[in-house]
Amino acid sequence: MKVYKFGGASVKSAEAFRNIAHIIKTFGGDKQLLLVVSAMGKTTNALEHIFDLAHKGEPFDKEYQQCLAYHREVVEELFASESNPVHERLEHLFLQLQQSLQTVPSGASYDKFYDQVVSFGELFSSTILHYFLTNQSLQNTWIDSRKYINTDTSWREGRVDWNWTERTIKRDLPEILQNQLIVTQGFLGGTNNGFTTTLGREGSDFSAAIFAYCLDAEAMYIWKDVEGLLNADPKYFTDTIRYPEISYQETVEMAYYGASVIHPKTIKPLANKLIPLYVKSFLNPAAEGTKICNCRFEVLAPAYIIKENQCLISFSVKDFTFISEKNLGTIFNALSELRLKINLMQNSAISFSICTDYNQERLHRLIQTLNDQFVIHYNTGLRLFTVKNYDNNSINKLSADKEILLEQRTRTTFQLVCR
Ligand code: ASP
Ligand code: MG
């Protein structure tokens, strides 16, 4: 069997849904297929915003109505018949969303209720896809991924219980796949006591890899709006190059540095079972794309990776002594408690600097925790640039006209934090 993952851009409009049906009919062949789908377009961002308003006790009706109207519009375009059950199902889900927004307890844990709300995006999109494919004579079963991917209560970053998940997936899904497609949600997991978790932003790739791993898939496909895995994001760079074939290892490293094509957790489960991952364009599905597998290439074109919205934090000791291993231990403990990930770090005689993704709430808690022991400075709104497999030319190209706050270089990797 194979796993196909369709991201937000591939379900952003009625036309995009039609294209999915076309891809499945043309390329799915007689294969057993499990389809993992993300929320439509920018729905997850919209839901984050709506949740944020609800959590602050501010009105969210306008934003909620916009989200509802967007989904209704697509459904109306896709389904000629007003009696198709999709309408009722979608309205019901939106009612549930409204209820969970209205009942966010004041002072409730932000991350836990975030998951209960933001997860609706994938429930909407997968529901629409289920009914639409049925209409297209593509028989399929909708399954609730929260009942198959079991996680702990690390909200917004659920940690998967692999044994339970594999057992449950293997128990139920192969039989369904004998004569039907399966449609399910990316990004979502469920806890033992019935709460929803999410697997981290852009986590649908990871969901697809979990299903691929547990079902021993022969391949996984990510259908995207780019031609494959490129050496740079075409939003920022012209003349990008596509890698026709690249190793798991190289891809993991690129994802770690922030290449947004693939969620960083996706590769490990696939590599463990040597399941090849194809990154293909849904706009040009016949094109070759990229094959990610257990291969080795010596020379690869330099890869340029940008992480936006970075924060550079520096800690210095108050009494002009040096930063000691004990100090570092204190800092690392606080970071790990707050789940702030270090994207880059640098040590000097009297200060220690780290670059992390900016998260206002966690940053403030970090400062509260460490304020009495360290002088802490920080800058926000920064970018972290990484060049993997760099050469002089690529460094010059990158450093030109930038205000550089921090620079670091190893034998294979060059990094800059800049404004
Ligand atoms: N919809 C989620 C997000 O935008 C998950 C995903 O797209 O992979 O983060
Ligand atoms: Mg998305």
User: pLDDT band at residue 215, thresholds of 50, 70 and 90?
Assistant: very high
Q: What is the pLDDT of residue 320?
A: 75
Mean pLDDT of all residues in 167-187: 97
Query: 400: CA distance to ligand 1 center in Å?
Result: 33
Tell me the pLDDT of the chain averaged across its residues.
94
Q: Which of 37, 126, 188, 201 has the most ligand 1 atoms within 8 A of CB, as the residue to mutate?
A: 201
Q: What is the pLDDT of residue 138?
A: 95
pLDDT higher than 70, residue 298? no
Task: Give the list of residues 6+ apart from residue 398 with CB closer than 8 angstroms, or none.
Answer: 304, 385, 387, 414, 416
pLDDT higher than 80, residue 107? no
pLDDT higher than 90, residue 171? yes
Question: Which protein residue has the closest C-alpha to ligand 1 atom 5?
Answer: 202
Query: 73: CA distance to ligand 1 center in Å?
Result: 21
Which residue would you say has higher pLDDT here, 401 or 94? 94
- Let me know: does 123 contact 187? Beta carbons within 8 Å: no
Instruction: Take residue 15 and report the two structure tokens written for it.
Output: 């036309």
User: pLDDT band at residue 259, thresholds of 50, 70 and 90?
Assistant: confident
Which residue would you say has higher pLDDT here, 119 or 401? 119
Of 82-91, 134-143, 168-177, 260-269, which range is least confident?
260-269
Mean pLDDT of all residues in 224-241: 89
Ligand 1 pocket residue status of 41, Cβ below 6 Å: no
Q: What is the pLDDT of residue 299?
A: 66
Mean pLDDT of all residues in 216-234: 94
Euclidean distance between CA atoms 371 and 331, whole angstroms:
11
Euclidean distance between CA atoms 413 and 276, whole angstroms:
26
Question: Which protein residue has the closest C-alpha to ligand 1 atom 8?
Answer: 202
Find the ligand nearest to 125 CA: 1
Nearest to 364 by CA among 296, 313, 415: 313
Mean pLDDT of all residues in 8-28: 96
pLDDT higher than 90, residue 218? yes
Strand order in the sheet with 374-388: 342-347, 351-357, 303-317, 374-388, 413-418, 404-409
Domains of the chain (ranges; CATH) run: 2-293 (3.40.1160.10), 303-418 (3.30.2130.10)
Query: 186: CA distance to ligand 1 center in Å?
Result: 7
pTM exceeds cut of 0.85: yes
Q: State percent of the chain over pLDDT 70.
A: 100
Mean pLDDT of all residues in 323-338: 93
pLDDT higher than 80, residue 260? no
Query: 53: CA distance to ligand 1 center in Å?
Result: 20
Q: State percent of the chain over pLDDT 90.
A: 84
Mean pLDDT of all residues in 344-350: 89
Q: What is the pLDDT of residue 202?
A: 94
Query: 203: CA distance to ligand 1 center in Å?
Result: 6
Which residue would you say has higher pLDDT here, 273 or 348? 273
- Let me know: does 256 contact 264? Beta carbons within 8 Å: yes
pLDDT higher than 80, residue 108? no
Q: What is the pLDDT of residue 394?
A: 87
Find the ligand nearest to 208 CA: 1
Ligand 1 pocket residue status of 227, Cβ below 6 Å: no
pLDDT higher than 80, residue 39? yes
Query: 20: CA distance to ligand 2 center in Å?
Result: 16
**Which atom of ligand 1 is found nearest the CA of 263?**
8
